[in-house]
Amino acid sequence: MQRINLLYVITKLELGGAQKQLLSIISRLDKERFNTFLFTAQDGLLLPDALSIDGLTLRRSKWLERPINPLKDLAALFEICWFIKKNNIQIVHTYSSKAGILGRLAARFARARFICHTVHGWSFNDFQPLFVSKLFIWLERFVARFTDKLIVVSYSDKQRGLDNHIGETSKYHLIRYGIEYSDLASRDQNIRKELGIDTDDLVVGMVSCFKPQKAPQDFIRLAFLVNKNLPSVKFILVGDGVLRRRIEGLINKFNLHRNVILTGWRRDINRILSAIDVFVLTSLWEGLPIAALEAMSSSIPVIATNTGGIAEVIIDGKTGFLVSIHDTQSMSERLVLLLEDKNLRRQVAGNARNNLGVNFSLNGMIKNTQDLYDGFFKERSGYG
């Protein structure tokens, strides 16, 4: 059987769940069956990881970037189309919203044999201006017409797509996130000392890009509410981004310098998780947040805003707690409850890890992805 030329397109290799999942897939695909290519922006924190993958052909575009820019976007579209034709790409698999639109259009123009897109939360949401949301819905509908498969990580994303008339039911295919459970099982006894946290301190953590979607300011407001009752609790916020100054402003306003630790971007999330007693997520919209899944698999209780597919893995009051968006008061009440009851933390954390089971295994994600590609070609005569 001849090898398949497979191109992935993603806007930027920043330190996020979708990007980490993509690189996990690329690095573990069967190299005897697939020639892998990756098209992305020029910069990104995970570029060194991509460059280290054996056999991967990487194209770094000076035109592809996250902000909308008609001229650059058009240039990126033609560049992707040229790259597909030059390398005789058979499968084009897109990730992220902008690359999903441009990459699938280019694949259509270049007549790629199989076009698929992974939805990590849709490009539209309830917090956008109405005309912007309507525009993105229209674009998603248009490119879905020539998309062979729409891969979703949650049933919530599938239903949201169907509710907005994006593709037919038959086009949707569920592939859950893949977690390397063994990497998250161990505890690092030194990380607290590195972060300036005492052994006996209770610690609340969140891993997030500092952007509006994640509402990191709510994390600081949460710290303020909790510290009124439990003044010794520490809060770790891992990440960085455009909202950093606003976050620092809130820390100053609430006088939380001794309680809130901003670590910046970290590559050792498994070590950070081993220092946390309770994990929280304050997002306004999500597909299915991988940071919460990693915390649950690390036997850490999670409190999250009820958005996207998170309710598919958190049973409120049993495997974690769910609160409404921006409801920091309710979140603080549940957080205090967990922090004051060690047995409850253990019970909720154990339930969470057991509930995940093997549904989110890394090997399962790789196998399901390869089976999807193979299934397409097996249905077409003349392959091989």
**DSSP assignment of 49-69, as one string?**
HHHTSTT-EEEEESS--SS--
Structural domain boundaries, residue 191 = 181-356
pLDDT at residue 251, rounded to an integer: 98
Q: What is the mean pLDDT of the chain?
A: 93
Q: Are 196 and 261 in contact (CB under 8 A)?
A: yes
Q: In the structure, what pLDDT confidence band is assigned to residue 358 with cuts at 50, 70 and 90?
A: confident
Structure tokens at 65: 């970037």
Q: Are 286 and 308 in contact (CB under 8 A)?
A: yes
24 falls within a domain: yes
Report the distance separating Cα 334 and Cα 318, nearest Å. 12
Residues in Cβ contact with 166 at an 8 Å cutoff, skipping those fewer than 6 apart: 122, 137, 140, 141, 144, 150
Looking at the structure, tell me whether residues 341 and 318 fall in a common domain. Answer: yes
Q: What average pLDDT score do residues 300-312 get?
A: 95
Looking at the structure, tell me whether residues 111 and 29 fall in a common domain. Answer: yes
- Please write the tens of the pLDDT for every residue from 49-107: 999 999 999 999 999 998 899 999 999 999 999 999 999 999 999 998 999 999 999 99
CA angle 225, 231, 233 (to 5 degrees): 90
186 CB-contact burial (10 Å; exposed 0-12 / middle 13-18 / buried 19+): exposed
Q: What average pLDDT score do residues 321-338 get?
A: 98
Tell which wins on pLDDT, 4 or 186: 4
Residue 384 has pLDDT above 50, yes or no: no
288 falls within a domain: yes
Q: Are 195 and 261 in contact (CB under 8 A)?
A: yes
Looking at the structure, tell me whether residues 244 and 164 fall in a common domain. Answer: no
Give how many domains the chain has, as a whole number: 2
Looking at the structure, tell me whether residues 201 and 332 fall in a common domain. Answer: yes
Q: What average pLDDT score do residues 270-280 get?
A: 94
Residues in Cβ contact with 245 at an 8 Å cutoff, skipping those fewer than 6 apart: none
Q: What average pLDDT score do residues 31-57 get?
A: 95
Looking at the structure, tell me whether residues 110 and 156 fall in a common domain. Answer: yes
Report the distance separating Cα 347 and Cα 195, nearest Å. 27
- pTM assigned to the model: 0.92
384 falls within a domain: no
Domain containing residue 230: CATH number: 3.40.50.2000
Looking at the structure, tell me whether residues 174 and 207 fall in a common domain. Answer: no
- Please write the tens of the pLDDT for every residue from 169-189: 999 999 999 888 776 666 777
334 falls within a domain: yes
74 falls within a domain: yes
Looking at the structure, tell me whether residues 247 and 308 fall in a common domain. Answer: yes
Looking at the structure, tell me whether residues 148 and 191 fall in a common domain. Answer: no
Q: What average pLDDT score do residues 274-298 get?
A: 93
What three-state secondary structure class fits 372?
helix
Report the distance separating Cα 51 and Cα 92, nearest Å. 20
Report the distance separating Cα 37 and Cα 58, nearest Å. 6
Looking at the structure, tell me whether residues 171 and 244 fall in a common domain. Answer: no
Looking at the structure, tell me whether residues 32 and 164 fall in a common domain. Answer: yes
Looking at the structure, tell me whether residues 10 and 85 fall in a common domain. Answer: yes
Looking at the structure, tell me whether residues 157 and 300 fall in a common domain. Answer: no
Burial 133-143 (b: 16+ CB within 10 A, else e): beebbebbeeb
Q: What average pLDDT score do residues 118-126 get?
A: 92
Residues in Cβ contact with 31 at an 8 Å cutoff, skipping those fewer than 6 apart: 54, 55
